[in-house]
Structure 1
C-alpha cells in the first residue's frame, strides 16, 4: 500500500475509535526528506493531540494497522512541539507495531527539526510551530558519532565473519548522514548523504556505491563478502576520524 493510503487508513481508524483525538498528523523521516523506498523504508509519523493521548486508545487505533511497512511514530501535544523535547515528559509511541505507553522514542531534536524543515502535513497546519535549536542538535550529532557509531564499529570489528547487507547500508550511510548534517546544518537523508560522500571522499567510492545500491537498487559492487567487510570497517575508521574526511574542520 502507498504512503497516502496507509496514512488515510490510520486517520479513518482514529476518527472512528477516538473522535477528535488526532488534531494533526505529520509524516517525517524518509517520507519528509524525499528518500522513502518501498520495501525498505518505514513510515514515520507524529500525531498531535490537544491533551496527552491515552495509551489504551492508541492501542485500539493501531491494533489492525498494516504490518508492513511499519507505521511508526509518537503522540505529542501542540505544547510538546513548541518546546525543547528534552524538557517534555515521555508519552505514547508506536515502534514496529508495538505500542509503548511511556516512551522517549523519536522525542528528540532530530524529529523536531525534520518536522520544521519538511514535515508532510496529512492533517493540521502545513507548518506547525515547532521548537528548533541547531547548536544543540549539532552537539548531539557529534556526541552520537562518539557514543553510538564508534562503539558500533568496534563491535563489528570483533566479529570475525562476513557482514550482511544491512550492516553495510546502516554503517556507511548512517555515519555519512551525520557528517553531512553537520556540514549542511540541516537533517539530511541517507541517500543524499551517500551521494555527498561519493563527491567528498575520494578513494571510497566502491563501498559507498555498495551502500547506496543496497538502499536504492542496482548491481552489486562486491563478489567477495569478506572484501566488503574489510572496506566497510576501513571506511568507518576513516569517517569517524575527525582528522580524516575533508569536512573535518567543519564538524568540530
Structure 2
C-alpha cells in the first residue's frame, strides 16, 4: 500500500503521537491508520482520523492522561487501543477494549472497532512508529488467517439482518411524505452508500472507500448513478439538496444490495 497519507492527516497524527508518547512513555509501539485516511477517501473538515493504537501494556492507568489529548484533537483522532496478543486472537475473542468515539475515550467499549473490518484494515493500513522527534510511516505487514472470509460473511449477514429491516423502517417513515419534501442529506447518504460498500466487501473480502463503492455501484446499476454521485459530493462537503424521492430511490438501491446478499 502507498504510505502517502493526506498532508493534514500526517501532520495531525505526528503531533498527536509525539504528545501521546510524552504523556504515556512506552505505551504505544505502533499506530495503524485505518478508515478513510487509509483508503484515499478522507476529506478535510469532514472526516475524522481512525487509528488502531497497538500497546505494550494494559493502558488503564494511562487513559486519564490520554482522554484530554483525544478530546482536544482536531480533526478528532478516534480508534481503539489493543495489545499484539489481542490482535492475534481476533475480534471474536476480544469482548471490550479502550475505544475513542468522536473524541471521547471510553475505557472498555464492546463492539465499535472490534470487528473483522478493523482486522482487515490492519492488513492494508499504514502504520506510524515514533522515532526520536518524528514518525516513520510504512505499510503494515499484519496477516490474520481467514480475515477476508470472515469479513465477507459478516458483510452478507449485515445486509440481510441489519439493512433489510432498516429499509423497511425507512420506507414506513416516508410513506406519508410527498416526493418533493426535503430529507436530511445524512439520511440519504447513509441509505445509499453504506449497503453498496458492504456489497463490495461481500464480493471481494476487501474494505473499499465509499467513493470507490459508489463508482462500482453506478456501473452495476446505472439508474442510480446520479443519486450516488450527489451522495458522494455531499459527503465530500459539496452540499446537495435531497428530497423524499431521493430517499425512496436510496431504499430501492438498498433492496437491490440485499437481494445480492440473498443469492
* Superposition TM-score tier, normalisation by shorter sequence: 0.7 to 0.9
Give the Å deviation of 1:215: 1.9
Q: Are 2:171 and 1:153 equivalent residues in the alignment?
A: no
2-structure distance, mates of 1:143, 1:191 = 22
2-structure distance, mates of 1:64, 1:135 = 36
Instruction: State whether residues 196 and 254 of structure 2, in contact with CA within 8 Å, keep that contact through their aligned partners in structure 1.
Output: no
- Let me know the Cα RMSD of the aligned residues: 2.3
Instruction: State whether residues 90 and 102 of structure 1, in contact with CA within 8 Å, keep that contact through their aligned partners in structure 2.
Output: yes
Q: Are 2:113 and 1:106 equivalent residues in the alignment?
A: yes
- 2:80 maps to which residue? 74
Note the residue ranges of structure 1 that are not aligned, 5 or more in a row: 243-247
Give TM-score, length-normalised by structure 2: 0.83
Q: Are 2:213 and 1:187 equivalent residues in the alignment?
A: no
Give TM-score, length-normalised by structure 1: 0.86
Q: Give the secondary structure class of the aligned counterpart of 2:159.
A: helix
Give the Å deviation of 1:165: 0.7
Instruction: State whether residues 171 and 251 of structure 2, in contact with CA within 8 Å, keep that contact through their aligned partners in structure 1.
Output: yes
1-structure distance, mates of 2:195, 2:84 = 32
Change (3 A) 1:130 1:78: farther
- 1:245 maps to which residue? none
- 2:144 maps to which residue? 131
Q: Are 2:77 and 1:57 equivalent residues in the alignment?
A: no
Match of 2:43 among 37, 42, 45: 37
Q: Give the secondary structure class of the aligned counterpart of 2:222.
A: coil
Q: Give the secondary structure class of the aligned counterpart of 2:89.
A: coil
Cα distance per residue 1:223-245 (max 9 Å; x no partner): x6122222222222223223xxx
Instruction: State whether residues 155 and 202 of structure 2, in contact with CA within 8 Å, keep that contact through their aligned partners in structure 1.
Output: yes
Count, aligned residues: 241
Q: Are 2:247 and 1:233 equivalent residues in the alignment?
A: no
Give the Å deviation of 1:57: 1.6
1-structure distance, mates of 2:122, 2:74 = 23
Instruction: State whether residues 151 and 202 of structure 2, in contact with CA within 8 Å, keep that contact through their aligned partners in structure 1.
Output: no
1-structure distance, mates of 2:257, 2:13 = 37
Higher percent of residues as strand: 2
2-structure distance, mates of 1:103, 1:130 = 25
Change (3 A) 1:51 1:64: closer
Note the residue ranges of structure 2 that are not aligned, 5 or more in a row: 1-6, 131-137
* Structure 1 range deviating more: 19-28 or 76-85: 76-85
Give the Å deviation of 1:183: 2.3
2-structure distance, mates of 1:212, 1:73 = 24
Instruction: State whether residues 73 and 94 of structure 1, in contact with CA within 8 Å, keep that contact through their aligned partners in structure 2.
Output: yes
- 1:170 maps to which residue? 190
Change (3 A) 1:158 1:49: same
